Amino acid sequence: MNKQSPERKGYHHGNLKQALVEATLSLIEEKGPTGFTLAEAARSAGVSAAAPYRHFKGREDLIAEVARQGYVLFAEQMEAAFDRGNPNPMAAFEAVGRAYLSFARDHAGYYIAMFESGVSIAGNYELNMVANRAMAVQTQAAEKLFEHMPANQRPPATMVSYHIWAMSHGVVELFARGEPGRRAPFSPEELLESGVGIYLRGLGLLPK
């Protein structure tokens, strides 16, 4: 069962918007981001088919709000894992990677809305801001890892963060949330840790 975010509450008068988000999370996990209608989300939330239009223009707008809330929770978990680089830069860097996998496992509905729904991040100011906040944690972790190196020898922290993000996402899609029956002889954490280790050795950050 997925862990609930602080925002996840039951429906009551005056909390229609969040009730629809909750209903949509369940529908996304059950049917995928395109497998239900706005009317179904309304029915699942126990409100009329017209009620969602008080807050959302349509289904895509509702999914964008789910993604926004997901990115807020995602950023919070990434920031907590990074912990300003404590207890040391390498441990913090590895913790951020584990937090990515943990979020995808524990909050599948949010993860799907964020990364698999086709929602436009660039076209949504609030969504773009929270997505960038999450990405910034990975970049900060890379910067902390390289800060002891001479400036002219440091790899671009942003590029490194994108590489690690892509690696983390690939592990999630293939082995943490992939097709039923697809199993690797290693855990997602082991796959990510070994891949990151090889990558960092190539950059000269770890002994060969």
117 in Cβ contact with 54 (< 8 Å): no
Q: What is the mean pLDDT of the chain?
A: 88
Structural domains of the chain in order of their starting residue, each with its CATH number? 64-202 (1.10.357.10)
Angle, CA 21 vertex, CA 17 and CA 27 arms, to 5°: 145
What is the identity of the amino acid at 157? A
Range from 102-106, 156-160, 164-168, 180-184 carrying the lowest mean pLDDT: 180-184
> Could you tell me the pLDDT band of residue 181, with boundaries at 50, 70 and 90?
low
| pLDDT per position as a tens digit, 50-93 | 999 999 999 999 999 999 999 999 999 999 999 999 999 999 99
Average of per-residue pLDDT across 25-38: 94
Phi, psi angle pair for 83, to nearest 5°: 50, 45
Please say if the pLDDT value at position 205 is more than 50: yes
Range from 19-33, 161-175, 193-207 carrying the lowest mean pLDDT: 193-207
Query: What is this structure's pTM?
Result: 0.86
Average of per-residue pLDDT across 8-28: 78
Q: What is the 3-state secondary structure (H, E, C) of the chain?
A: CCCCCCCCCCCCCCCHHHHHHHHHHHHHHHHCCCCCCHHHHHHHHCCCCCHHHHCCCCHHHHHHHHHHHHHHHHHHHHHHHHHHHCCCHHHHHHHHHHHHHHHHHHCHHHHHHHHCCCCCCCCCHHHHHHHHHHHHHHHHHHHHHHCCCCHHHCCCHHHHHHHHHHHHHHHHHHHHCCCCCCCCCCCHHHHHHHHHHHHHHHCCCCCC
Nearest residue to 168 via CA among 116, 109, 101, 117: 101
69 in Cβ contact with 21 (< 8 Å): yes
Tell which wins on pLDDT, 12 or 208. Answer: 208
Rounded-to-integer distance, Cα 130 and Cα 114, Å: 11
Please say if the pLDDT value at position 8 is more than 60: no
